Chains A and B, each alone.
Chain A
Amino acid sequence: MQTSLERVLHQARGENRAALIGYIPAGFPTVEGCKRAIDVLIDSGFDAVEIGYPYSDPVMDGPIIQEAADQALRNGVKAKDVLGTLHHATERGAAAVVMTYWNPIEQFGVDKFAHAIAQAGGSGVITPDLSFEQAQPWNQSAARAGINTIYVVAPSTTDDRLRKVTGITSGFIYAASLMGVTGTRTSVSNSAQELVARIRQVSDLPVAVGLGVSTPEQAREVATYADGVIIGSALIKELLGKDLDKGLVGLEELALSLAAATRSANRESPGVSGAKEARGVK
């Protein structure tokens, strides 16, 4: 059976456009504030949301997401809040996944976590620090729960390893646009397009590009060659240190312009990637 995420990506391909995916950590700026922010993203035309599991030692994240996660943890956000936020998004009809470092999954219980994600209507989990070599227990649990296992690949990933990692990935492949941590950048690295092209050689799965994509112009550029555009830090920046209502106004403005930009991208005819179907959970 297809997950909501797979359906959404399939549909976007059918419309010859890239899907727009937004990231926000659960509990940021508060548990309820996060849900309102998710509503804004969905209403502004985001195709899917990634709900971050705030973690004490986020080595993949730059200062903006660190600060947001820190704030969420200071607010006392727990596993149940992450799952509750996921449930909120899926009840609103959005395709939603959780993005988390590995230790919270291990401590929750690997099987139990996969099951809880499915229960909350979640489509899958992005695991940025779960290496291929350590991934088997999670892949088995996720398969049993019928959810997607989304892995991140980087410009430094060798072709041989791209084959391995994409082989255990479902939903979409998360292509890190550059060598570095999350955060806003003035331009999207050239390495992103090269990486997407290399991934196309070994996999038919949709490819979404994240890390450092923050402005409508950058989103439009990425949308010309990728199946998905992932925005994180730029959205969070709208809410950091601001009154929630004012922050949400700014967030909506940015979200609408990102959605318009992504949809207006000039894409090659669907022949290149669109002809190949998005694949279901293996």
Chain B
Amino acid sequence: MTATIDTGLFGPYGGRYVPEALIAALDELAKMHQELKNDRSFVAELSHLHKTYSGRPSILTEANRFADYCGGARILLKREDLNHTGSHKINNVLGQALMTKRMGKKRVIAETGAGQHGVASATAAALLGLECVVYMGEEDTKRQALNVARMRLLGATVVPVTAGSRTLKDAINEAMRDWVTNVETTHYILGTVAGPHPFPVMVRDFHRIIGDEARAQVLELTGALPTAVLACVGGGSNAIGIFYPFIDEKSVRLIGLEAGGDGLETGRHASAISGGRPGVLHGARSYMLQDEDGQTIESHSISAGLDYPGVGPEHAHLYDIGRAEYWPITDKEAMEAFSLLCRTEGIIPAIETAHALAGAIKLGKELGPNSTLLINLSGRGDKDVQTAAEYFGMA
């Protein structure tokens, strides 16, 4: 499933659809990614940070009480929520921030939706002494105010983006404009497996540690591979991270849970694969939400982190070849699963992650007690407490 190194194509998806001004920087990045992948000192430095800073390996938790609501299927949670900064995002950010140092650049920029990637970027920048600017849709700065404060405490500049739908897609546009202008001094820490080559490949490689660890942990615990691996999909970084080491294991079902918002039939959703069609957005070809002219349609989701009209190109390819499935989960289903995990396991998940939990409830009921479901618990829900309290009428 490895994309071609020079062009970054996954079947007909991926590639580079960007202003010529960025090509030289993307070439440099692609070359550096290839070199550093096998560079002992780089790998050791990153591994040291994983162990001593972000807290890897993340643990595997068996969710026995939650399993009662999943048709009795065995439920195993890969606890990325326990990483420093509270989600899987730190894996990629530490990798790219170390690369930034090696490129001799002193400034990083990032886009953020829910704020998790922005917080992770601000954290890594503080740790490594880099200037950090985070672009965030104005709409998202309101629904994720806690994360805005965290980023500012960490010394980052948060720029609210007021263009377009004022969410993640517009934050990416603004980050790209900054990057085109300041590419000589600045690295763009793209937070998901989308964007122009080499980002989809590079970000996946920094996140595959989730799947590598989980695979070994599940084998040790159960003596077998899981029946299915589930993860929520916005751009798709946590999903590709946990899927990747299982792609060649044909017996393992891979299921990505997209944000179904109010339901696909309402048109108010963020399910690029289940409810979109192929096109080009943010530098790569993939599935996306668009009108007949190719204008991007605004996405809708209760979860800021999944509120994105596109998806990473590798997911598009996995879907086309039938290797992975992508199901939409409505806001309502996600919030029910959110509440259930809180009350059965004492874990408050991110609302993004709750989409994967809702998928597990569905799949568990379908497969029954003889199945093992590995779920990427990609983030914790502290940032969502306000939204959830309002949703459940507790505020």
Contact A57-B164, Cβ < 8 Å, known A133-B16, A152-B20, A156-B23:
yes
CB < 8 Å: which of A56, A73, A130 contacts B17? A130
A59 touches B20 (CB 8 A): no
B19 at the interface (CB under 8 A from A): yes
Whether, in the assembled complex, A247 has its beta carbon less than 8 Å from a beta carbon of chain B, the answer is no
**B109 touches A (CB below 8 Å):** no
B293/A78 in contact, CB under 8 A = yes
Q: Specify the chain A residue showing the minimal Cβ separation from B21.
A: A154
User: Which residues of chain A have C-beta atoms less than 8 A from B154's C-beta?
Assistant: none
Whether a CB of chain A sits under 8 angstroms from the CB of B311 is no
| Chain B residues whose C-beta falls within 8 Å of the C-beta of A165 in the assembled complex | 20
B294 A60 Cβ-Cβ under 8 A: no
Residues in A neighbouring B283, C-beta threshold 8 A: 129
Between B7, B16, B25, the greatest number of chain A beta carbons within 10 A of the residue's beta carbon is seen for: B16
- CB of A92 within 8 A of chain B? no
Contact of A134 with B16 at beta-carbon distance under 8 Å, contacts A60-B180, A106-B280, A156-B23 already known: yes
Most buried by A among B18, B183, B184: B18
Shortest Cβ gap from A51 to chain B (Å): 15
User: B279 to A106, Cβ gap below 8 A?
Assistant: yes
How far, in angstroms, from A56 to B292 measured CA to CA in the complex? Answer: 13
Q: How far is the CA of A166 from the CA of B339 in the complex (A)?
A: 58
A60 to B180 alpha-carbon distance, docked (Å): 8
Interface string of A53-71 (1 = CB under 8 A from B): 0011111111000100010
Q: Does B47 contact A (CB under 8 A)?
A: no
Contact of A107 among B7, B163, B182, B293 (CB under 8 A): B293
User: From residue 1 to 53 of chain B, which have CB atoms closer than 8 A to chain A?
Assistant: 6-7, 15-25
B279 touches A103 (CB 8 A): yes
Question: Which residues on B sit within 8 Å (CB–CB) of A60?
Answer: 19, 177, 180
A106 with B294, Cβ < 8 A, contacts A56-B164, A59-B173 known: yes
Cβ-defined contact, B24 with A129, below 8 A: no
Contacts of B22 in A (CB 8 A): 156
| Contact in complex: B20, A153 (CB < 8 Å) | yes
A59:B24 contact, CB within 8 angstroms: no
Partner of B23, one of A62, A73, A131: A131
| Interface residues of chain B: helix, strand, loop or mixed (majority) | mixed
Residue of B6, B15, B21, B173 near A57 (CB, 8 A) is: B173
The answer for the CA separation of A154 and B23 in the assembled complex, in Å, is: 9
| Chain A residues, Cβ within 8 Å of B7 | 133
Q: Count B interface residues, CB 8 Å.
A: 37
B residues within 8 A CB of A78? 293
If the complex has contacts A73-B295, A103-B279, are A57 and B20 also in contact, measured as CB distance less than 8 A?
no
* Contacting pair A103 B280 (CB below 8 A): yes
Q: Is B290 part of the binding interface, using a Cβ–Cβ cutoff of 8 Å?
A: yes
B-facing residues in A121-142 (Cβ within 8 Å): 128-131, 133-134
A157 interface residue per 8 A CB criterion? yes
Option from B15, B177, B294 in Cβ contact (under 8 Å) with A131: B15
Q: Judging by beta carbons under 8 Å apart, are B19 and A129 in contact?
A: yes
Shortest Cβ distance from residue B44 to the other chain A in the assembled complex, whole angstroms = 32
Contact B15 A179 (CB under 8 A): no
Determine the residue in chain A with the shortest Cβ distance to B165: A56
Contact status A176-B20, CB under 8 Å: yes
A181 CB within 8 Å of chain B: yes
Known: A103-B290, A106-B279, A106-B280. A152 touches B16 (CB 8 A): no
Asked if B181 is at the interface (CB within 8 A of a chain A CB), the reply is yes
> A79: nearest residue on chain B (CB-CB)?
B293
The reply to whether A131 and B164 contact each other, CB–CB distance below 8 Å, is no
Enumerate A24-67 residues with CB–CB distance to B below 8 Å.
Answer: 55-62, 66
CA distance A153 to B176 in the complex (A): 17
What 13 additional pairs, Cβ within 8 angstroms, besides A151-B20, A180-B21?
Answer: A56-B164, A56-B295, A58-B173, A59-B173, A59-B177, A103-B294, A104-B293, A129-B283, A133-B7, A134-B16, A154-B19, A180-B181, A181-B181
Residue pairs across A and B with Cβ atoms less than 8 A apart, 23 shown, are A57-B164, A58-B173, A59-B19, A59-B180, A60-B19, A70-B163, A70-B164, A102-B17, A103-B280, A103-B294, A104-B293, A107-B279, A107-B292, A107-B293, A128-B19, A131-B17, A131-B18, A151-B20, A152-B19, A156-B22, A156-B24, A156-B183, A158-B24
What 7 pairs between A and B have smallest CB-CB spacing?
A107-B294, A154-B21, A103-B294, A180-B181, A59-B176, A104-B294, A56-B296
Binding site for B on A (CB under 8 A): 55-62, 66, 70, 73, 78-79, 102-108, 128-131, 133-134, 151-158, 161, 165, 176, 179-181
